[in-house]
Structure 1
Amino acid sequence: MKMVTKLLPPSEDSIELICRIFVERYWYKAFYDKLKPDLIPQIELYIKSQGDPSLIIPLDLANYTDSIEEASRRKVSLIGLYSPSIDKLPYLQLEQMRKKNGLVICPSCGEPGRPRTLDHYLPKDVYPELSVVLINLVPMCDWCQGEKLADYITEDGNKRYIHPYFDEVDRPLFSIAFNPPYVTPRLSISINNDLPPGLKHLVRLHLEGVSLLERFTEYFKTVFRNILRKAKECRQPGATNFRNLIEQFLDMASIHSKNSWDAVIYRSILADLNMMNYLENDELPEFL
Structure 2
Amino acid sequence: MWKVRLPDAGDIDDQLDTALTLKSGEKVYDLSDAERAAIHSLYADYDQRLGEPDAALQPPALADCAEALHGAYNQVQKGQRLASLRSRLLSAVMECPLCGSGDATTLDHHLPKDEYRALAINPRNLVPSCQPCNRAKGTLAALAGQGMIHAYFQVIPAVTFLKANVTYAAGSLEVVFSIEPAGLPPALADRLTFQLDRLKLTERHPDAINIFLFSQKVAFRLFRGNPGERELLRQFLLDGADTLDQDLGLNHWRAALLKGLAACDAFLDDPWAYLDKPPPAMNAG
TM-score, length-scaled by structure 2: 0.77
Matching residue of 2:135: 146
User: How has the CA–CA distance of structure 1 residues 119 and 159 changed in structure 2, closer, same or farther, with 3 Å as cutoff?
Assistant: same
Matching residue of 2:6: 9
Structure 2 distance, partners of 1:56, 1:264, is 39
Q: Between Structure 1 and Structure 2, how many residues are aligned?
A: 267
Query: Secondary structure of the residue that 1:82 maps to in structure 2?
Result: helix
Deviation at 1:118, TM superposition (A): 1.1
Structure 2 distance, partners of 1:269, 1:55, is 46
TM-score, length-scaled by structure 1: 0.76
Is 1:90 the counterpart of 2:79? The answer is: no
Deviation at 1:33, TM superposition (A): 4.9
Are the aligned partners of 1:49 and 1:55 in contact in 2 as well (CA < 8 Å)? no
User: How has the CA–CA distance of structure 1 residues 23 and 82 changed in structure 2, closer, same or farther, with 3 Å as cutoff?
Assistant: closer
What letter matches 2:166 in structure 1?
F
Are the aligned partners of 1:242 and 1:280 in contact in 2 as well (CA < 8 Å)? yes
Query: Secondary structure of the residue that 1:64 maps to in structure 2?
Result: coil
Matching residue of 1:260: 252
Is 1:104 the counterpart of 2:94? The answer is: yes
Once the two structures are superposed, what CA deviation does each residue of 1:130-184 show, in whole Å capped at 9, x if it has no partner?
1111111111111111111322535xx6431111111123653311112353732
Are the aligned partners of 1:90 and 1:132 in contact in 2 as well (CA < 8 Å)? no
Structure 2 distance, partners of 1:17, 1:160, is 32
Deviation at 1:245, TM superposition (A): 1.7
Matches within 5 A, 1:1-288: 3-5=1-3, 7-13=4-10, 15-17=12-14, 20-21=17-18, 24=21, 26-30=26-30, 33=33, 35-54=35-54, 56-59=56-59, 63-64=63-64, 75=67, 77-84=68-75, 90-98=82-90, 100-101=91-92, 103-111=93-101, 113-153=102-142, 158-169=145-156, 171-181=159-169, 183-192=171-180, 193-224=182-213, 234-237=223-226, 241-254=232-245, 255-270=247-262, 272=263, 275=264, 277-282=265-270, 284-285=272-273, 287-288=276-277
What letter matches 1:263 in structure 2?
A
Structure 2 distance, partners of 1:214, 1:264, is 16
Matching residue of 1:70: none
**Structure 1 gap segments, 5+ residues each:** 66-73
User: How has the CA–CA distance of structure 1 residues 33 and 91 changed in structure 2, closer, same or farther, with 3 Å as cutoff?
Assistant: farther
User: How has the CA–CA distance of structure 1 residues 153 and 12 changed in structure 2, closer, same or farther, with 3 Å as cutoff?
Assistant: closer
Are the aligned partners of 2:168 and 2:267 in contact in 1 as well (CA < 8 Å)? no
Structure 1 distance, partners of 2:121, 2:63, is 20
Name the Cα RMSD after superposition.
3.4
Are the aligned partners of 1:79 and 1:124 in contact in 2 as well (CA < 8 Å)? yes
What letter matches 1:90 in structure 2?
L
Query: Secondary structure of the residue that 2:74 maps to in structure 1?
Result: coil
Provide the identity percentage. Answer: 20
Structure 1 distance, partners of 2:177, 2:48, is 32
Structure 2 distance, partners of 1:194, 1:219, is 28
Once the two structures are superposed, what CA deviation does each residue of 1:191-222 show, in whole Å capped at 9, x if it has no partner?
12222212111101111221211112343344
Structure 2 distance, partners of 1:251, 1:283, is 20
Deviation at 1:89, TM superposition (A): 5.3
Query: Which stretch of structure 1 is more off in the superposition, 204-213 or 88-97?
Result: 88-97
Structure 1 distance, partners of 2:192, 2:19, is 37
Deviation at 1:116, TM superposition (A): 2.0
- Structure scoring higher RCO (CA < 8 A, sep ≥ 6) equals 1
Query: Secondary structure of the residue that 2:178 maps to in structure 1?
Result: strand
Query: Secondary structure of the residue that 2:172 maps to in structure 1?
Result: coil
User: How has the CA–CA distance of structure 1 residues 54 and 236 changed in structure 2, closer, same or farther, with 3 Å as cutoff?
Assistant: same
What letter matches 1:51 in structure 2?
G
Are the aligned partners of 1:258 and 1:264 in contact in 2 as well (CA < 8 Å)? no
